[in-house]
Structure 1
Amino acid sequence: MLRAPFSARGKTEGGSPAAGGVDRPAMESPRTPSGLSSPEAKIGLRVEDLWDVQEPRLSPSEKLNSCFESIPVSSFPPAPPSLEIEIPSDASLADAVEILSKNKILSAPVWNVDAPADASWIDRYIGILEFAGIAVWLIHQSELATHQRNGFGVDASMEGNFFESLISSDFYRNTKVQDISGTFRWAPFLALQKEDSFLTMLLLLSKYRMKSLPVVDLGEGKIENIITQSAVAHMLAECIDLHWFRNWGTKKLSDLGLPVMKPDKLVKVVEEEPVLNVFQLMRERRIGGVPVVDETGKNVVGNISIRDVQYLLTAPDIYKTHRSITAKNFLSAVRAYLGEHQETSPHLQGVITCKRTDTLEDIILKLDSKKIHRIYVVDDNGSLEGVITLRDIISKLVHEPHGYFGDFFDGVVPLPANSRV
């Protein structure tokens, strides 16, 4: 069973506050300036109050660590109803993909239909179904199809009829969510307890590359809340006018050492790359998205994220217009599909970019307003220079103290590296 140690909760066994922290009751800040009334803004005000009483000798990063360590994740605003959706383990993969797509969510917990009513959360759930896992399954089916054709010749991933045949097959309709549990990243999943701190949550979403974090009630054996990257981006956007945040928010990206990755190390694909190869690349590099560039390799013409694998399974019109599905054709078909169905999507907004001279608060506001988790950095000529993710931003705000997590990860075992994205 998951054991969140005291080191990851900022408390010693005797209940003393974390080093540099303040043992204060969980209450709203008495200061409620006009315009700061949202639940996320109130969290920012709590940080502000804690910030003001930190020891002067602490660095800004140490102060913020201590502030976030003093706030439990039970204070985080509840997720919208769409994130409360759970998928039964005996649901078909086709139905599960439809559920994720219609509700515009990246993932959902999978509950074990065979678990007893009084099961603990760790026995009640078998994992979290993500589009990343679905991509792994889809790539595997493509590899099998290619092998069955001639062993190593024509690549099935190049041909639209592979996808068309797959989604119309009994095999796809009869594949259950539990049948692809080998693609789940954790067994069952990494969860927070209500008393765990914001610092724990932020470190897991950044350094430990979690996409979302369920908050569990051990007594009830159920999920109380789900904290997503988008929700954290919105929380930060609501805090940009607060004093503690402006220590970072007003700085230029270049002054903060962003982007972290050098241009020659950036993972990117050209327009003519087969789209399934793009998803394969994301799987191999364990990244959530890649820029699509023109023939010069410098100008960004689009972005493909791991969640876009849904369109290969839910938008068959793509195959009618493009038999060879390259990254360029895929993006064109997805935009047409979204426009026809009047759906909102970052794909319809063009490529979202920034420059090194932009400030951190500029980037956070863009991430929040555009509902994205990454933004591409370009120079004055529009040439691609790098990428900044929400994880990069969080890593500039907080850091992991030595030995912080202790045995936090015991009892929730990650699956082999080749099974996850």
Structure 2
Amino acid sequence: MQQTMEHSTAKHYSEADQSTQRLRDKKLGDLMVNKRRLVEVPYTASLAHTMNTLVANKVLAVPVAAPPGQWIGAGGSMIMEADKHTGTVRKHYIGLATMLDLLAHIAGNEDQLMDEGVHDGFDLDQKMSVPVSSIIGHCLEGLSLWTLNPNTSPNFSILDCMEVFSKGIHRALVPVDSHLDNVSGVELVESASSYRMLTQMDVLRFVKEHGSSGSELDNIMSSTVSDLGAVTERVFTITDRTKVIDAIKCMRIALLNAVPIVRSSDTDNEEDHKQLVNGRGRQAIGTFSATDLRGCHFATLQTWLPMSALDYTETVLANPLLAAFNNAAGSPTTRELVACRADSSLGEVIDKVVSKHVHRLWVVDQQGLLKGLISLTDIIRVLRLAILSEQNA
């Protein structure tokens, strides 16, 4: 469902709260400084072109644009780009195309891969030639378009942004200038001369760069993620025998962009390597993520889909050319396990997700056994609540 989050929070705080207030007083516009023009694809773009766009721009999702008046937008919304001077509508954003959408489409729902390799009927070129509009909504995120509008709500603060992203929304469109018309209920007509994209990672990067000073915020950053309630104890994994194609299918069903890899159980011969398994208490030996495939030309996927996800991370990602791409994109390569402990501080966790450019950390104990995970949503949620708690103390 498309939503526009508008808040009016003009409050005054004491000098004792000045350091936290500095972060709270930052507005949405402060986060949008130096944000590049929106990367998008037309509704007629093939999946091959869409994947190349994702790869070239090092992003995981792009809005899909269509001619106005011909499409129903996500959730019945009308988010449009219009000429700033004449108001003439040029395009209508109808949804998002994510890397996971593309990978799920490639993997398909049919058993096209055999143990010995790709089945003769598997035609990757044909799968990648269909228009991107045909896969919107295969993953839930593609059906959601969210906007944050600083023009109609001048007091929209960074904490208001956090409130939106703490609900599991990964990214939102921000109009440079806009006009809004409420039609009925939750339906909305919005037009702007251009948009920018704001993500959860943008917010945490901003916090890391601008919110490190001041005793009140220091107290929050030094608190452990366990004490703050940021750790999700249930963690789903794949095994070292799970194939890339099955990992993609599992991630699509569970709406996950990354999963840890654990060793196959020696005692349970009935463990299904095509399904997600409970990883709590097991040794994590790697991570498989949708981002692992963003530096790959789609034609090579035909060779890699039947591989185990572990082999893929150990061999394909170790290729010097792909390793160089991932390093440039700020992503970890090979089997690196980006993890933390339950007693890690919030500041340490934020620093790690931003510097490693990952969207979740695996929580492990002293023996390296999985105890849970922390997502960007978890981090933003507890950070926002802690700041509000400090203000109300």
Q: 2:255 is matched with which residue?
A: 286
Q: 2:206 is matched with which residue?
A: 235
Q: 2:72 is matched with which residue?
A: none
Deviation at 1:158, TM superposition (A): 5.7
Give the number of aligned pairs: 335
Q: 1:30 is matched with which residue?
A: none
CA distance in 2, matches of 1:308, 1:252: 30
Asked if 1:156 is matched to 2:144, the reply is no
Question: Following superposition of structure 1 onto structure 2, how do residues 27-46 of structure 1 map, counting pairs within 5 Å?
Answer: none
Cα 1:4/1:248, change in 2 over 3 Å: same
CA distance in 1, matches of 2:136, 2:116: 27
Q: 2:169 is matched with which residue?
A: 210
Secondary structure of the 2:291 match is helix
Asked if 1:166 is matched to 2:120, the reply is no
Report if aligned partners of 1:271, 1:328 keep a CA contact under 8 Å in 2.
Answer: yes
Letter in 2 for 1:371: H
Question: Following superposition of structure 1 onto structure 2, how do residues 6-405 of structure 1 map, counting pairs within 5 Å?
Answer: 8-10=6-8, 17=10, 21-22=11-12, 52=15, 68=24, 71-78=26-33, 80-81=35-36, 84-113=38-67, 124-139=92-107, 142-144=108-110, 146=111, 156=113, 160-161=117-118, 165-167=122-124, 169=125, 171-183=126-138, 185=141, 189-194=145-150, 195=153, 196-207=156-167, 209-216=168-175, 217-219=177-179, 221-238=192-209, 239-259=211-231, 261-262=232-233, 265-295=234-264, 298-310=282-294, 314=298, 316=300, 320=303, 324-337=306-319, 339=321, 342-343=324-325, 344=327, 345-348=331-334, 350-399=336-385
* % identical aligned pairs: 22
Report if aligned partners of 2:43, 2:66 keep a CA contact under 8 Å in 1.
Answer: yes
Letter in 2 for 1:76: L
Report if aligned partners of 1:203, 1:399 keep a CA contact under 8 Å in 2.
Answer: no
- CA offsets 1:224-244 (integer angstroms, 9 cap, x no match): 321112212211212223333
Structure 2's unaligned 5+ residue stretches are 70-80, 180-190, 266-278, 387-393
Letter in 2 for 1:303: T
Letter in 1 for 2:353: L
CA distance in 2, matches of 1:71, 1:121: 32
- CA offsets 1:253-290 (integer angstroms, 9 cap, x no match): 2322342x22xx31111110122222222222222211
Letter in 2 for 1:292: I
Cα 1:51/1:240, change in 2 over 3 Å: farther
Report if aligned partners of 2:40, 2:64 keep a CA contact under 8 Å in 1.
Answer: yes
Cα 1:71/1:333, change in 2 over 3 Å: same
Secondary structure of the 1:324 match is coil
Report if aligned partners of 1:120, 1:218 keep a CA contact under 8 Å in 2.
Answer: no
CA distance in 2, matches of 1:97, 1:235: 28
Cα 1:121/1:221, change in 2 over 3 Å: farther
Cα 1:97/1:157, change in 2 over 3 Å: farther
Report if aligned partners of 2:174, 2:195 keep a CA contact under 8 Å in 1.
Answer: yes
Report if aligned partners of 1:353, 1:378 keep a CA contact under 8 Å in 2.
Answer: yes
Deviation at 1:300, TM superposition (A): 1.3
Report if aligned partners of 1:290, 1:304 keep a CA contact under 8 Å in 2.
Answer: yes
TM-score norm. by structure 1 comes to 0.69
Two-structure CA RMSD over aligned residues (Å): 3.5
Secondary structure of the 2:127 match is helix
Cα 1:281/1:79, change in 2 over 3 Å: farther
Greater share of strand: 2
Cα 1:355/1:181, change in 2 over 3 Å: closer
Structure 1's unaligned 5+ residue stretches are 12-16, 23-49, 147-154, 401-421
- CA offsets 1:133-188 (integer angstroms, 9 cap, x no match): 2233234xx324x3xxxxxxxx5276652599533x3x235311122234363556
Greater share of helix: 1
Cα 1:221/1:198, change in 2 over 3 Å: same
CA distance in 1, matches of 2:144, 2:380: 26
Report if aligned partners of 1:376, 1:387 keep a CA contact under 8 Å in 2.
Answer: yes
Secondary structure of the 1:241 match is coil
CA distance in 2, matches of 1:231, 1:323: 32
- CA offsets 1:317-365 (integer angstroms, 9 cap, x no match): x655x67322222222431345556221312471112112221111111
Cα 1:372/1:323, change in 2 over 3 Å: closer
Cα 1:350/1:120, change in 2 over 3 Å: farther
Letter in 2 for 1:257: G
More displaced stretch, 120-129 vs 281-290: 120-129
CA distance in 2, matches of 1:247, 1:228: 26
CA distance in 1, matches of 2:239, 2:373: 16
More displaced stretch, 244-253 vs 90-99: 244-253
